[in-house]
A = this chain, B = another copy of it.
């Protein structure tokens, strides 16, 4: 059994579909302002390793939009809470380049730090579509698809998503450490 330290139930549900033997534990930890998701995750592990008794992992993700200089990036969660998908769509009005990349980084601690990164390329939709998923899911269309993540069930989203890709690497590591 591994602890997943998060306060985000949606993430827990997505990950639970792929690794059964996890337990959600909510312990707030500091997130630093950085350029890379990896830095945020390493900083979180550093703080949590003194507080958690047992192996644990955390996950941080962000949406990086090319034509907005990678905004909202590692501040995706805060920016979602303030301007939301409507704000992003407003900033994207009349933008021809709608390319975006979802990034997920999982940090696992078993006495040492291990990082697993997953990316999902795609584009920003012209309007919000779908009520599934969470966060930016209703405005993100993965490459080669027509539906947004907001229009997909967890199982379908997990076929393409950044988080599932990071998780696959993590699962491989757990099998063959």
Contact = CB atoms under 8 A, between A and B. Distances in A.
Interface of A: 30-34, 40, 43, 68-73, 75, 78-79, 81-83, 87, 90-91, 93
Given A32-B33, A33-B78, 18 more contacts: A30-B43, A31-B32, A31-B33, A32-B32, A33-B33, A33-B40, A68-B82, A68-B83, A68-B87, A69-B81, A69-B82, A69-B83, A70-B82, A71-B79, A71-B83, A71-B87, A75-B79, A90-B93
Question: Would you list the 10 A-B pairs with minimal beta carbon distance, nearest first?
Answer: A71-B82, A31-B33, A69-B82, A30-B32, A75-B75, A71-B83, A32-B32, A68-B83, A87-B91, A90-B91
A34 B75 CA distance: 11
A90 B83 CA distance: 12
A73 B79 CA distance: 10
How many identical chains are in the complex? 2
Contacts of A83: 68-69, 71, 91
A16 to B, nearest CB: 26
